[in-house]
Structure 1
């Protein structure tokens, strides 16, 4: 509650984001890491917002060091390995954890993962050779988006080192921000845009570390007998006879293009909007039938489809758990849940660390 009051107070004073008299978290932001390929020797620069002032440093090693008196901003270790395009189908995975729609709620995310023993007391990967699936929507609404992004970046590297995997799937809000639709960007990030002279989408452009990392990711992944994505698979997908690999390639190749351009292409318009896998909400409508669902499951040879996007009060199973909804309203900043699958057993991981069968 105290944190909520502090953030509310901060929002009131945000009309002048450059004011040095405000002593709130919005004076600190970053790092934003850019790549300059035009130089004789490619250079990487880290930009930080410290006490409402822009600071920068050249990066010669992989680990970033934040400037002095710059709050508790992330100090990431950079990795080229996690920007490699990974497979979108896996079998023989013994344990999986999945969650969705964090929307900048870093503190809730950390508490949930700690309580469920996915990370340790120091916020490091503790899930061994397990796979973690984040089905999109880290961006927008909340005021700790960069903290979430750099934390997931770190987990991506640590999971691979432990023999596990992080699957960071693109949601509609990743696509919106990278494509320049900034309607839901939190006011905190106005300061970085002003000081860096970049719109919010450009802060995650193709010349940035986070932008390159995000653009390497899949939008759908199949693990064992479960298919994961942000919104859902509609019957229109079956009519188009698409494969997961084809869709992921098209998403990677076109993420960041303006909406008007995507809408001009029939296939891209379907994938990025409407009944596509990042926007579809049909599973939660009365008109959707189990017979229709069974055709979709059969097409992909899976027993379950796991989605975010459509908010629930908890991790929820529909149609005898053939559909698993994992948007547990973390975005509200109060609590959240996650899905655990261990040797095929489906379990709700509650915010307090307890677990219940789905």
Structure 2
């Protein structure tokens, strides 16, 4: 059982609250009188990251992925960020933001987490970056709420624990390599009996125990998720899973991110460990659960003008132009609401949700547009909602 008591000391908190990415894509280096000047670096403030200054960068945001590796790759390839083989960053100095809910409803959650981390390492070498925002399904799993876990995801957890037992390197190396290793393991297991029958109790128990060890506060994957915020501001745009409200801004977004991260990292000197930050993680108006902006307004509760006023107040207080959220599948595709202050980009692309065609949001020069495949041609992009 030692394998299930994983507590990798290799996962450390970043010691500084601000760090700088100094590199950039050669094609983006400004030219002045034939000479090359130093690029404007990306500056990241907060631990986990909270404020990002990324001048002159294209931003791409992708919604809820829910364990569907194939749809994840399709979305990133459509945005020009991922190679055709599904492993390598092709986005140069683009900033990619994923707005949460990588977990649950699909089989390949850890593979997606590994892929995004690998792409971040590659992107940084070209002046770009990949950021993740934690959603309600990430926090539910750390609480031990496994109601929406796909049976195949329990199997992936058991395989991942077995892989970690065999791996002799550091945690970062092991986690980065899982996206490659998992492909081989899936092929090897494809011919076997991987179905969960009511009588396959041992296999089911092994997966549940493995998941509990990995995702409980202080577990290796809980610690990995603790590196990501629940609210991220990139340039003039806010990214969060559910929605940011005025009382969140008043409480302090960096404070919320820090408290959520500490809770995920698990017990330290406190007897019961860090407390769960209610304002961020619990309740209909918390950051990861709010649907105020993403669902159709209920006239008995909130008139559209009132929601628009709340969005305007929130963005004004945090000095942002727009907000990008996931959480609520949009049956008609990604869209903007409330005078284009809020963009809703969860299109239910996972096969465990709506299995809809992938769509992403692209932001260039503070103008946002939705990219999706053209209905009549998979090789052509259709651009909508350009503002």
Q: Is TM > 0.5 for Structure 1 vs Structure 2?
A: yes
Match of 1:22? none
Give, in whole Å, the separation in 2 of the partners of 1:233 and 1:36: 33
Deviations 1:131-169 (A, max 9, x none): 100010000011222221221121122122221111111
Tell me by how many angstroms 1:298 deviates. Answer: 0.7
Structure 1 residues 34, 156: closer, same or farther in 2, change over 3 A?
A: farther
Aligned positions of 1:213-224 closer than 5 A? 213-224=224-235
Aligned to 1:171: 135
1:268 corresponds to which of 254, 267, 277: 277
Q: 2:371: which partner in 1?
A: 349
Gaps of 5+ in 2: 11-45, 159-203
- What is residue 243 of structure 1 aligned with on the other side? 252
Decide whether the 8 Å contact of 1:93 with 1:223 is kept in 2: no
Mean alpha-carbon deviation: is it higher for 189-198 or for 119-128?
A: 189-198
Report matched runs for 1:1-358 at 5 Å.
34=6, 85=47, 87-91=49-53, 92-123=55-86, 124-191=88-155, 192=158, 194-195=205-206, 198-205=209-216, 209-238=220-249, 241-255=250-264, 268-274=277-283, 275-283=285-293, 284=295, 285-286=297-298, 287=302, 288=304, 289=306, 290-313=308-331, 314-331=333-350, 332-351=354-373, 352=378, 353-358=380-385
Alpha-carbon distance in structure 2 between the residues aligned to 1:118 and 1:136: 18
Residue 90 of structure 1: CA displacement?
2.0
C-alpha separation between the residues in 2 aligned to 1:185 and 1:273?
20
- Normalised by the length of structure 1, the TM-score is 0.70
- In the alignment, structure 1 segments of 5+ residues that lack a partner are 1-31, 43-83
Q: Distance in 2 between matches of 1:196 and 1:312?
A: 32
Distance 1:162 1:212, change over 3 A: farther
Q: What TM-score does the superposition give when structure 2 sets the normalisation length?
A: 0.65
2 CA distance for matches of 1:164 and 1:234? 29
How far residue 197 of structure 1 moved from its aligned partner, in angstroms, is 7.3
- Taking the aligned partners of 1:118 and 1:325, their CA distance within structure 2 comes to 21
- Is the 2:99–2:239 contact (alpha carbons within 8 Å) kept by the matching residues of 1? yes
Indicate conservation of the 8 Å contact 2:217/2:266, yes or no: no
Deviation, structure 1 residue 128: 1.1
> Structure 1 pair 309/93, CA: closer, same or farther in 2 (3 Å)?
farther
Pair 282,256 (structure 1): closer, same or farther in 2 beyond 3 Å: farther
Confirm or deny: 8 A CA contact 1:232 1:280 kept in the other structure.
yes
Deviates more, 1:108-117 or 1:199-208: 199-208
CA RMSD of aligned residues (A): 3.0
